[in-house]
Amino acid sequence: MAPDRPRIAVASPSFCQHPVLRAELLALYPDAKLNPSPHRLEGDALVDFLRGHEVAVLGLEHLTAAMMDALPDLRVVSKLGTGTDMLDLAAMRARGIRLGWAPGANALSIAELVIAFALLGLRHMGALNAALRAGERPPQRMGRLLSGRVVGLHGCGHIGQHVVRLLAPFGCTVLAHDIADRQAFYAAHGVTAVSLDELLARSEVLSLHIPLTPETRGLYGDAMLARLRPDCVLINTARGEIVDEAALIARLRDGRLAAACADVFAGEPAINQALIDLPNFFGTPHIGGSAEEARLAMGRIAIEGITRNALPEP
């Protein structure tokens, strides 16, 4: 290994299983260590894999303060993907571990999935497809158009803004609630900024685009879900832990919520089978960024992050 090359370990299966990203990385860093398994490494297994390396390329793997203490050589974490809630950023900052990361690389890919979910939920496609697969010819079931609906966005950052653009041909009334000032974007795209109360009360389709923080963990519990319209379609492509799955199941079962679609689940990679089995729920296994174009963009950002990085912000 050349003396000026960092010791790199790539734990992310999504990166390691991609032939183009693998080739581009090895062309620059031929001694990089790649995870040969298609499964995510966690805990002691991840520590063992990263031990002795200065750079870790991570996707959905969790990195805690205790794990960092067991990795004294670690200097940089380069992130595949835009979420950082699986990293203890304060612990990284305290230990001088730098972060290579760029938000927004998979935003369009996730936004397109949101549109697909909205159509699926409004037209009962999940339940109808399940009936066909079971050999049944279900009776005609009336759905609703996405066109002209009131669509609410809880959070209107990179992903939410792409959703707004994709909704333009549908003529929807778009509402948004965000702690950041997005007034210039709202004015340019006909979005109405509303309070959280109004967002919940009016949205016929509500899509979540907020980060997982101590404040948002479990935010959409029974009390919050009770404020939604009974004909609302709830979409979560953010983080599974934002929604209380038990409360969601209860409301879907008794018809107090029309439908829900999610690409993320609490406790991933485990899934809540009781939720998956509901006819008015449609789920996907965290594929929001799994469009070829998005995966390449995220992977190349992760490669750049090996050398372009900074201490996480407070």
Q: Which residues are catalytic?
A: 239, 268, 286
Q: Which helix (H) or strand (E) holds 236?
A: strand 233-236
Strands (E) in 74-184, as ranges, are 76-79, 98-100, 150-154, 173-177
Residues whose CB falls within 8 Å of the CB of residue 306, separated by 6 or more in sequence, listed in order: 6, 8, 29, 55, 57, 76, 78, 100
- Give the length of the chain: 314
Q: What's the rounded Cα separation, in Å, for the pair 296 and 129?
A: 31
Asked if 156 and 185 touch (Cβ cutoff 8 Å), the reply is yes
Residues 6+ apart with CB under 8 A from 195: 177
